[in-house]
Amino acid sequence: MLDYHKKTLIWKKKHFWFGLAIVIIFYSPYIILGQDSVWYANDYTELVIHWFKLLIDHNAILKPNDYPIIGMLDVLPRGSFASEFYLKTWLFYLLTPYQAILINKLLIHLTAYVSAYHFLTKISHDWMQGPKFLYALCWACIPFWPEAGIGLALTPSVFWVFYKLSQGSKISFPIILLILVLCFYSYFHLNGIFLVLILAAYGLYTLITQKVAYRNYWLMLSFLTVTYLLFNYRMFDIYFFQRDWFTPHRIEYDIYSFGRYHKNVGYKLKHLLLFGEIHAVLISPILYFTLLGYLIFSNYFKTESNKYIFLLKVFIGVNFVALIASLLTYIPLIEKLPIIEKINQFSFERFYYLIYPFLIFAFILIVDQMTRHMQLKKYGWLLITLLLTYNFLVLDDNTKNKILKPIVGIGNKYPTFKQFFAEEQFTEIKDFLHQLGHQDYKVVSVGMHPAIASFNGLHALDGYTGNYPLRYKNEFYEIIKDELGADDRKNWLYWHFKGWGNKAYMFNHTNNDDFMRLKWFEPTSIDAPKYNYEKLKEMGCSFILSADLIINESKLELINTFEHDRSAWIIHLYEIQ
C-alpha cells in the first residue's frame, strides 16, 4: 500500500495549490466576519483565550514558574499557563486575541491539508488513483479541537515518517524538523503521550515480526519524547517538583466522579464512532457507515482481497479502540478494577483520537475504489460532496449558527466572539464602578463564564483551568458548599466540583453548570442562593456579575443592570453587603 521509496515534490503540483485555496475559502467566513463569527465555548472561549491573554497582559512569558499572575482564580503561578515553547503563546503575544485564534485555526487546517496530501502521495498507484487534493480536503476540513494545535492534524505525515524509519530509512533534516514543529505546536498531555505510546507499540511489533531493531526508528522516537518533555517543562516542574509551595488541585482529581458521563457505554461508543469527540475532532456519521457498508456489500466492488482485509482490520481496530476507551470510564467495570481506578488524575482514555485518521483515510480509499467502478462512480462523488457539505454546514460552528439553524429552526442561537466577550458592555461596567470610586475590587460571575470578566481586565476569584492550587480549591469550596449539597454519589453537582474541580465556578441549584444564560433565553431568577458571602468578602470580593436576577437575598444589593446591543448578556451588578 505505502511506497516508502516514492518521492514527490508536492509544491510543484498545481492541484495541491488549488486544494490549499479551497481550505482557505472553506474557513474564509471567520476572516470576513471577524469578531462577528461564532466560536463555541467547548473548553476554548471559556477556558483558553483569556488564559493566554492574562499571560501576555502580565508580560510573563519568560517569568519563573512561581511568578504571580492576577485575574483568574484570584492569583495563579506562571507555571499554570502554557510554555514559551508552544507556538500559540507567541501568536497571542504578536497578535490580538481574535487574530491569534483565527491564525491558529487556519494553521491547523492548512497543516492538516498539507499533511494529508503528503501522505496520500505516498500511497501506491494500485491502491489509489483519484484526485489527492480532493481527498486531502476530507481530512483538512473537519473541526479539530483548536487548543490541541496540530497534534492530530499532522498525524498523517508523522505516521508516514515513522513508517519509513521502520523500514530502515535514514534520519534526515526534514524528519528532525517535522518532530520539532509537532512538539512546538501541540501538547504532550493532550496528544503527545498517546502518539509516543502507539509509535512505541508499532516499533515493538516490527521488532517482533521482522526480527530487526531499526536504530533510527528508536532514536527518532526518543528524540520525539525528549523534545515533548523539554517543551512542556513548566507543566512537569510545577506539578511534580514544586510541592514545597504548590500542591496542584489535581491530586484530588477523579475522572470517574462524573457519574452521569460514565454509566452508558453504548452512548459513548456511538459518539466516538459516529460523531467524534470535542477534545479530538468532530466527524460525520458518513465515515463509519461508508466503511460498514463497504464491508457488507464488497462484492459489488470486485475488491482485491488485500484491500478488503486491510479495511476489515481498520473496522475492527477502530471499534476495538472506541470500545476500550468507553469501558475505561465505565464506572461499574472500573469499580471492579482497583488498579485502573487509582489512575484517576489523567484522562488516559483520550487515545481515542487515533480512531479518526484511520476512519477518514479508510473512507478515502473506499471512495477512490467507487470512482473506478462505472456503476458506483457517481455515488463515490456523491459521498465526497455530502461529507464536505456536512463538515461545512453541520460541524462548523460559524455556518451552523449563521446558515443551518435559521433555515431548519432547530437549536439555540449562539453568541459571536464579540457578543460573548462583550468588551463594550464591560467598559461601561468598569466606568460605572470607577465613577462610584471603586478602583481595586474583585468579582465573581453567576450564569456567565468567569473568563468574560477576566478577559475584560477584572480581577476574578472564579475561573476554569487544568492546574491551580489545592489550597485555593478548598477555600473556594467554602463559598459554594451549601449550593453544591451533600457528597452523595448521585449529587452530580457536588462531584463536578469536588471530584473534578477544574471549574471553580459559582454553581447553584437553579442553573447547575449552565453558565451560558444568554439574554435571548427565557429569563430565570435565582432565589436566595446559599453562597457564603462572608467568605467572599474575606477573599476580597466586592461584586457579583449575574446573567440572571438574584432575588430574596438581603446580603446583595442590585446597583445597576447593563445591556448592550453587541453583547450576549444582560448583566446585573450586585454589591455584597
Average pLDDT over residues 133-144: 95
Instruction: Tell me what pLDDT residue 263 has.
Output: 67
With a cut of 60, say whether residue 275 has pLDDT above it.
yes
The arithmetic mean of pLDDT across residues 268-292, rounded, is 93
- How confident is the model at residue 411, as a pLDDT? 75
CB–CB of 173/422 below 8 Å? Answer: no
Flag whether pLDDT at 345 surpasses 70.
Answer: no
pLDDT given for residue 227 in this prediction: 98
pLDDT score at 499: 84
Average pLDDT, the chain: 90
Three-class SS state of 237: helix
Q: What pLDDT, in 10s, does the model give residues 61-98?
A: 999 999 999 999 999 999 999 999 999 999 999 999 99
Q: Which residues contact 388 (CB under 8 A, 6 or more apart)?
A: 137, 138, 141
Distance CA 498, CA 382 (A): 49
Q: Which of 171, 147, 87, 159 is nearest to 116 (CA)?
A: 159
DSSP string for residues in 373-395: STTTHHHHHHHHHHHHHHIIIII
Residue 260: pLDDT over 70: no
- CA dist 398 → 391, 416, 448 (Å): 11, 9, 21
pTM, two decimals, is 0.92
C-alpha cell recorded at residue 575: 454589591
Q: What φ, ψ does residue 202 adopt, rounded to 5°?
A: -65, -40
| Res 463 pLDDT > 80 | yes
Does residue 407 carry a pLDDT above 90?
no
Q: How many CB atoms lie within 10 A of CB 305?
A: 8
**What digits encode the pLDDT tens for the residues 167-189?**
989 999 999 999 999 999 999 98
Q: What is the DSSP letter of 97?
A: H
CA 278 to chain centre: 6
pLDDT average, residue stretch 542-555: 94
Rounded to an integer, the average pLDDT of 225-237 is: 95
Q: Which of 322, 314, 275 is nearest to 143 (CA)?
A: 275
Mean pLDDT of the 324-338 span: 76
For 98-120, how does the pLDDT look when each residue is reduced to its tens digit (9 = 90+)?
Answer: 999 999 999 999 999 999 999 99
What pLDDT, in 10s, does the model give residues 19-66?
999 999 999 999 999 999 999 867 788 989 999 999 999 999 999 999
pLDDT of residue 301: 62
Q: Which residue has the higher pLDDT, 301 or 487?
A: 487
Residue 6 has pLDDT above 80, yes or no: no
Split at pLDDT 50, 70, 90, the class of 124 is: confident
Mean pLDDT of 501-509: 93
- Whether the predicted pLDDT of 10 surpasses 70: no
pLDDT the model gives residue 8:
57
Burial of 473 (0-12, 13-18, 19+ CB in 10 A): buried
Return the higher-pLDDT residue of 126 and 64: 64
Domain positions in the chain: 253-373, 422-576
**Which residue in 222, 25, 18, 16 sits closest to 119, CA to CA?**
16
C-alpha cell at 435: 465613577
List CB contacts of 184: < 8 A, sequence separation 6 or more: 85, 86, 87, 231
State the average pLDDT over residues 237-263. Answer: 78
Provide the Cα torsion 322, 327, 331, 337; round to 10°.
-150
Q: How far apart are CA 87 and CA 107, in angstroms?
A: 11
Average pLDDT over residues 239-258: 82
Helix and strand element counts for the chain (H, E): 26, 13
Task: Give the model's pLDDT for residue 405.
Answer: 86
